[in-house]
């Protein structure tokens, strides 16, 4: 039986202005272009790494799909 994929709800709660260019690019590549924007992604190692890089700017919740 296949395991249900866990999703992550990611919200940008702090502006990336004033941080390194790579951190701003990471926020944008997650799909977070405006403050308080929320996106959902599958829980993968690549997404977890991006979240870890800019965790000080984000709020992350697990969503059972």
- pLDDT values of the chain reduced to their tens digit, one per residue, 65 residues: 556 789 999 999 999 999 999 999 999 999 999 999 999 999 999 999 999 999 999 999 999 86
Domain presence at residue 34: yes
pLDDT of residue 22: 97
Which domain CATH number covers 50? 3.30.1390.20
Helix (H, G, I), strand (E, B), or coil: what is residue 32? coil
Q: For residue 7, what is the enclosing H or E element?
A: strand 6-12
Structural domain count of the chain: 1
Residue 31, domain extent? 6-64
pLDDT of residue 62: 95
């Amino acid at each position: 039986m296949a395991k249900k994929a866990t999703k992550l709800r990611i919200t940008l709660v702090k502006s990336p202005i004033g941080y390194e260019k790579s951190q701003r690019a990471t926020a944008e590549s997650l799909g977070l272009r405006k403050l308080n924007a929320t996106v959902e992604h599958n829980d993968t190692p690549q997404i977890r790494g991006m979240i870890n890089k800019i965790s000080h700017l984000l709020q992350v919740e697990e969503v059972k799909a």
